[in-house]
Amino acid sequence: MAVMSFFANPHRFMAASKWPAWGFTLLGAALIAFGVWKGLIAPEDHQQDERARMMFVHVPAMWLSLFAYAFMVGASFISFVWRHAIADVAAKSAAPIGAVFTAIGLMTGSIWGYTTWGTWWEWGDARLVSVLVLFFIYLGYIAVWQAMETPQKAARAASILCLIGAVNIPIIHFSVEWFAVLHQQSTFMTTDDRATAEFKIPMYISALGYLALFGGLTLMNMRAEILRTRAEMLMQRRQAAD
Amino acid sequence: MSGSFAVFVRELKLAWSGGGGAALPVGFFAAAASMTPFAVGSDTVALQTAGPGVIWIALALSSLLPMERLFQADLEDGTLDAYASSGIAMEGVALAKTLAHWIATGIPLALVSPILWIMLQGAPEQGGIVAVAALVGSLAFFFFGSIGAALAAGMRRGGLLIALVTLPLYVPTMIFGAATLDAAASGADWVGPLMLTGSAALFGIATSPFGAAMALRTALD
């Protein structure tokens, strides 16, 4: 609570976030570079085939697409209950980044699916379909921010939508699972426990990189948003003075 | 409660005396479903395969049509402000308005659906199942749609936004409803999927007035 009320002041947030924004972004880029090098360039030192290298890009993107949404739900809740100005900005700033992670995850997953299952898309798989719906929820959320006239109303409406989406995603997941059973399609996804340690460690490093990049980019977006609000206020003041 | 009931009665009267506005989605529903043979071909088997899905997509889109004006008109002319200042709970207003619009538009949609089913070469004896499924499904579509309608009420061009926000909420109803018709057409057990469609509708009725009311209070601020 103390941290929350401390950062309710945009000036304190701006002062405290300047270096972390750059630091997290650079750290994220470095860790992702390591993960990608390990995944794409390093010699194959495992039993799995080449396709599994996609996992260093795909799995962290999927984790982060959910993490970003969970972050937005938390921020929306804080914004809705306490009308916290920075929480609004945080949820708004995280949305495009989460949407891009979701898109990367969908595209890489689709490519992986083609090489492994022989199909670009499998409607019977609950995970694929719920991630697609998550992507649409991201788009709807971004659209609400853009369509509302005043930022205060947009913040309220967007946080309501974000919380509704959080309820909706598990329901969609289970209904698609039922849909798959109904259509008697074989489930292609099997949990693969054979992933070895030399696979898991670069994947976790890559995931940490994604997480740091998400933090850094979100902070940068938030700073840009606060600066934009300030610039607008200055413009209004100048016009009022003329 | 009596306040919400008065809202409900007023909405019903408006819907039935409003110069046919409530019937427009029914026309859209019939026209959209009638486009199918031109796209799929007039082959009987192809139409029978596409039929259940086409009817459900057309039903979902027709249910979206009344949503743009569901709360917007009352927000613009100050009726919602009057409701709020007279102490009627916004949840009750959302429930009453959505239910009244469903009675005025949703029930006619369900009544037309067996005709479209037969046009798409479905078996006439299954028309009753189609109507019941469409009745339950449109109830779910209207209530889930009311959340999007409330969110977009304060925007000038909220129509497309409603579709983007609401269609993800329609996914479970879409799956269960189309599965009901699929099962009925293939002679399988259609009661189970119909019950699940009904549970989606009940979930929508139980939860969406609260979401819609939150959004409406924001628009009124």
Q: Where are the domains of chain A?
A: 23-40+51-187+195-241
A9-35 confidence digits (pLDDT tens): 777 888 888 888 888 989 988 888 888
Residue pair B217/B157 in contact by the 8 Å Cβ criterion: no
What angle do the packed helices B44-64 and B159-185 form, to 10 degrees? 140
Q: What confidence score (pLDDT) does residue A212 get?
A: 92
Cβ–Cβ gap A144/B175 under 8 Å: no
A23-40+51-187+195-241, which class in CATH?
mainly alpha
Among the partner residues A140, A149, A153, nearest to B218 by beta-carbon distance:
A153
Minimum-distance CB partner of A160 among B154, B158, B215: B215
Residue A141 has pLDDT above 50, yes or no: yes
Selection from A178, A135, A187 nearest residue B195 by Cα: A178
pLDDT in tens, B88-120: 889 999 999 999 999 988 999 999 999 998 888
Q: For residue B82, is pLDDT > 70?
A: yes
Instruction: Confirm if A109 and A58 have CB atoms less than 8 A apart.
Output: yes
Residue B189 banded pLDDT, cuts 50, 70, 90? confident
pLDDT at A126 over 90: no
What tokens were used for A76?
A: 């929306």
**Closest Cα of chain B to A153: distance in Å?**
6
Q: Specify the number of domains making up chain B.
A: 1
Q: Is residue B36 predicted with pLDDT exceeding 90? A: no
H or E element in which residue B90 lies: helix B90-101
Give how far B13 is from chain A: nearest CA, Å: 30
Domain that holds residue B36: 2-220
Q: DSSP states of B28-68 as a string?
A: HHHHHHHTHHHHH-S-HHHHHHHHHHHHHHHHHHHHHTTHH
Average pLDDT over residues B75-93: 88
CB-nearest partner of A160 from B172, B196, B214: B214
| H or E element at residue B209 | helix B191-220
CA torsion sign for A192, A137, A3, A11 is: positive
- Ramachandran assignment for A199, one of left (phi > 0), alpha (psi -120 to 50 degrees), beta (any other): alpha
Taking only the tens place, the pLDDT of each residue in A85-97 is 888 899 999 999 9
Give which of B110, B114, B182 is closest to B141, Cα–Cα. Answer: B110
Does A193 have pLDDT greater than 50?
Answer: no
Token representation of residue B30: 């019939």
Ranked by mean pLDDT, the top range of B1-5, B64-68, B208-212 is B208-212
Taking 60 as the threshold, does the pLDDT of residue A112 lie above it?
Answer: yes
Q: Kindly list the residues from chain B whose CB atom is less than 8 angstroms away from the CB atom of residue A156.
A: 214-215, 218, 221
pLDDT at residue A177, rounded to an integer: 74
Task: Select from B60, B157, B219 the least CA-distant residue to A157.
Answer: B219
Average pLDDT over residues A227-234: 89
pLDDT at A169: 81
**pLDDT interval class at A191 (50, 70, 90):** very low
Of residues B104 and A203, more confidently modeled? B104
Chain A residues close to B165, C-beta within 8 Å: 140, 143-144, 161
Q: What is the pTM of this model?
A: 0.82
The shortest C-alpha distance from B6 to chain A (Å) reads 28
Strands (E), chain A: none
